[in-house]
Structure 1
Amino acid sequence: MTPLKHSLFILATLALFSCNTQNKQDNKAIAKVKTIKAVKTVNTIASKAPAFKPNKQFNDYWYAGEAEITSYQLDQSRYGENRKGTAVLVFVTEPFLADTQVKADQNNPTNVNVLKLNSTKKFNTGIYPYSIMQSTFYPIANNQHAIKVSTSVQEWCGHVYTQLNNREQFQITSHSYFQGEADQKFNLDKAVLENQIWTQLRIDPSSLPKDNFEIIPSLEFTRLTHAPLKSYNAFAESKPGQYTLTIKDLDRQLIINYNPEFPYQIHSWEDTQNGKTSKATKLATLKTAYWNKKSNADLELRKTLKLE
């Protein structure tokens, strides 16, 4: 190697070492920032209300390694007519990451225990089908808003998707095939989320909001009606076995009927808007680790749920 080539080799090696060292320093700095942001995120979703403390009855039911699946006969109002269909509520506990706001794959003291609700509806409008799914991740501590809510609606015209993340404000990401909606990102001041009422009810019905308060309607409702996603004035009253929510500005009323005894299973609901009412009535309930029931032999379980 000539003296010149030897010098160039040394300079290149030093430069590479310097870059690697800087990358490691940058990565440490980034990791530190992520940690700070994660702590800040957790702090911003907490409240001063005392946390719910699960008792043995609660733990035995919700931490048995199973989900609770309930099917419903659906009578859905759409385009001025009522459509027959099915709805399913799937409740299950799981660990959740407060910073990235996704399910945790590993146990960690910083995980947030949530009661997740996956809610689905399927019905036909004439020749073409509708499929709706909402996911709500609500802390079992029951002293803060849902950490995350998402909704998707599919039908033959196209599909739409909305996601709400609970950070310093509610962060909204929305995608739609409608020209007037298209792709949007915006923030909302925090208020009661209609989506979280269903999970909050299953933890402690007495904690549900009552009288006058601000509410953000369910993401399903705002998608189907194209109502602005924002806070509205609401009024609610609660009595054993029934919760009634009224949003006067939307000419809307939601009535949820449930068993007043633990685990507060939901029997039926009625959702009335502009004089048109959608109803759902319980068919069957099954507790199972459904994620392991994926063989053809497990199709029989759909008959148990009266979905076939």
Structure 2
Amino acid sequence: MRISFVSLSLVLIFLASCSGPQRKEIDFDAWGKYWFQGKAEISSFDLTQYRYGEPRTGEAVLIFVTEEFSRKNQVKLDQPEKAGTDKISVIKMNQTRDFVTGIYPYHMMLSVFTPTKEKKHSLKINASSQEWCGHTFTQINLKSKDSYQGKIFSYFEKEGDDSFSFKGWTEDELWNLIRINPNQIPIGSVNMMPSLFYQRFTHDEFKTEEAFIRVLDVSNNRSQLEVTYSSGSRVLKIDFEKEFPYQIMGWEESQTKADGTKEISKAKRKGLKIVDYWTRNKVEDEFLRRELNLNY
């Protein structure tokens, strides 16, 4: 069967529109040996989280793993081998934070899905928070080049069930860009949506803000990503190793309140394992939690 030049051109255009531009200056052969081995990287952290004006002792966990994702539906594919051009490789970060405020606990989780080889913004970001008053869930989905649509489901009256939209970068995708390669981090002044965790703590409206981003050398083997918002109320610092796979060693979030007081939340790594955790769900596998120094 002969394929016309026009038909072939349309096919090539369609494929190009699906794949988009590729990330540059990254050795994906070496990258894949670490990230495509069928396991996840799990790191645990001692956490100090400010809430209600006081520092709370808790625990955080970062889980990084690659997955095959649906471009159209923005969900993990059940049968990627049948997905064709709908398939896109992403790196997923799940970040959990657990701490106690007085008598009741907080359980929080953030998930970020960022294309690995294709140079695109994160396709989906969502965050949930559960505590004894109730729970909330927020999700944003990439709809075009840099445009997001989001929804929040909350038990708070002023938030209710609402939707919003914005254009620009997201603070939460910076974690994955570090892990892909720090050269993917936007340097300088950018229009950025603060973290969904930050919004949960402050209940601020969903809007972008000018932020200044830089990467600093803090030691011979460690770098630091610093994000400073133009309002002067928030600074994020993430410490990571200079060499691949750019493991995250800790972070610090500084918030300046209206009265000038400063609250500093921070985390320091205490454990690390590379493991296919989804297969380790038996009682006999609980020793892995001890190896990660997990308490919650």
TM-score by length of 2: 0.86
Picking from 34, 38, 42, the partner of 1:61 is 34
Match runs of 1:216-235 below 5 Å: 216-235=193-212
221, 235, 248: which one pairs with 1:266? 248
Asked if structure 2 preserves the Cα contact closer than 8 Å seen for 1:142 and 1:200, the reply is no
Alignment-derived partner of residue 284 in structure 1: 271
Q: Distance in 2 between matches of 1:214 and 1:49?
A: 22
Output the amino acid matched with 1:201: I
Helix, strand or coil at the partner of 2:120: coil
Query: Paired residue for 2:259?
Result: none
Residue deviations 1:195-250 (CA, integer Å, cap 9, x gap): 10000000111221111111011111111111111110101111241110001326
Counterparts of 1:53 and 1:210 in 2: how far apart (Å)? 17
Cα pair 1:51 1:142 within 8 Å, conserved? no
RMSD of the alignment, in Å?
Answer: 1.9
Q: Residue 176 of structure 1 contacts residue 183 of structure 1 at CA under 8 Å; is this kept in 2?
A: yes
2:124 matched residue in structure 1? 148
- Counterpart pick for 2:191 among 214, 217, 223: 214
The residue number in structure 2 matching 1:109 is 84
Corresponding residue for 1:129? 105
Q: Whole-Å Cα distance in 2 between the matches of residues 88 and 284 of structure 1?
A: 9
Measure the CA separation in 2 of the matches of 1:43 and 1:157.
46
Q: Aligned AA for 1:69? A: I
Paired with 2:164 and 2:44, the residues of 1 have a C-alpha distance of 35
Say which SS state the counterpart of residue 231 (structure 2) adopts.
helix
1: CA distance between counterparts of 2:21 and 2:275? 35
- Paired residue for 2:133, among 145, 154, 157? 157
Distance 1:172 1:223 in 2: 14
Q: Matches of 2:197 and 2:132 in 1, distance apart?
A: 17
Task: From the superposition, tell whether residues 185 and 62 of structure 1 become closer, same or farther in structure 2 (CA, over 3 Å).
Answer: same
Say whether the 8 Å CA contact 1:52–1:142 is kept in structure 2.
no
Q: Deviations over 1:148-183 (max 9, x none)?
A: 000000101111110001113311011111100000
1:89 matched residue in structure 2 = 62
After TM superposition, give the deviation of residue 277 of structure 1 in Å.
0.2
Q: Mean alpha-carbon deviation: is it higher for 239-248 or for 146-155?
A: 239-248
1:128-166 deviation per Cα after TM superposition (whole angstroms, max 9, x unaligned): 000100000000025111000000001011111100011
Note if contact 2:91-2:116 (Cα within 8 Å) is conserved in structure 1.
yes
Q: Which whole-Å deviations, capped at 9, do the CAs of 1:84-139 have from their partners, x for residues lacking one?
A: 00000000000000101100111233211000000000000010000100000000
The one-letter code of the counterpart of 1:175 is F
| TM-score normalised to structure 1 length | 0.83
| Alignment pair present for 1:253 and 2:220 | no
Residue 198 of structure 1: which of 168, 175, 189 is its match? 175
Q: Which amino acid aligns with 1:262?
A: F
Once residues 82 and 219 of structure 1 are traced to their aligned partners in structure 2, the CA distance between those partners, rounded to angstroms, is: 20
Partner of 1:11: none
Number of aligned positions between the proteins: 267
SS at match of 2:205: coil
Structure 1: gaps spanning 5 or more residues: 1-38
Does the Cα contact within 8 Å between 2:152 and 2:162 map onto a contact in 1? yes
2:158 pairs with 1:170 = no
C-alpha distance in 2, partners of 1:55/1:49? Answer: 11
Q: Secondary structure at the match of 1:249?
A: coil
Compare CA radii of gyration and give the structure with the larger one: 1
Q: Distance in 2 between matches of 1:101 and 1:64?
A: 23
